[in-house]
Amino acid sequence: MSVIVIEFITLDGIVSDPDGSTATPTGGWAFRHGPETVAGDKFRLGSTLDDGVMLLGRTTWQLFSRLWPGRDDPFSARMNAVPKLVASRTLTDASAWMNSQVIDGDLVDAVKRERRDVIITGSLSVVHALMAADLIDEYRLLSFPTILGTGERLFPAGGPPTYLECLSAEQAGAAVLTQYGRATR
């Protein structure tokens, strides 16, 4: 089992509001580069999406539950079919998006019990909780040629050092997809 974080990210490490859905002043930065940059399986999830489980925080899940069920392209069919775990203290009904269930109990314990690969999309509070528990195995980052100067960062200031190794890097439209894994010594 691996825990894989996938994020749209700016050159200065901002991950908040890439699509503009939370109406921040700088929101929508990822989508300014055109649909070909963000559409489809840009994170190269492949069979991981077929055999794994997605882990989403409540806010990301609520956004996705309004967007994905109405889409019918092949990638959307895979997104709708994948089992989804929702980390939330307030959400009780996850029926708005098929194959979703709210985690019962502690997030970190639920991830430790999971036998499938876990894919975390967005959901910064979930990512930060799993970072603190040292449970992240891989980061797949779609980096956009944008500098915002403000917003929530994937790697917060004052956090512990994290040593990674680059597994791959390739251009994806206007962005660059990089894969980083735990560094081996």
Quick: pLDDT tens for 108-143.
Answer: 999 999 999 999 999 999 999 999 999 999 999 999
Amino acid at 132: A
Q: Helix/strand/coil (H, E, C) string of the chain?
A: CCEEEEEEEECCCECCCCCCCCCCCCCCCCHHHCHHHHCCCCCCCCHHHHHCEEEEEHHHHHHHHHHHHHCCCHHHHHHHHCCEEEECCCCCCCCCCCCEEECCCCHHHHHHHCCCCEEEECCHHHHHHHHHCCCCCEEEEEEECCCCCCCCECCCCCCCCCCEEEEEEEEECCEEEEEEEECCC
Angle at 22 between CA 141 and CA 173, to 5 degrees: 35
What was the pLDDT predicted at 35?
75
Q: Is the pLDDT of residue 145 over 80?
A: yes
What was the pLDDT predicted at 138?
97
Query: Do residues 34 and 174 make contact, with C-beta atoms less than 8 angstroms apart?
Result: yes
* Main-chain dihedrals φ then ψ at residue 176, nearest 5 degrees: -130, 125
What was the pLDDT predicted at 185?
55
Q: How far apart are CA 53 and CA 47, in angstroms?
A: 11
Query: pTM of this prediction?
Result: 0.93
Edge-first strand listing for the sheet containing 118-121: 100-102, 84-87, 53-57, 118-121, 3-10, 138-144, 175-182, 164-172
Please report where in the chains the tokens 């403000």 appear, as a residue.
150
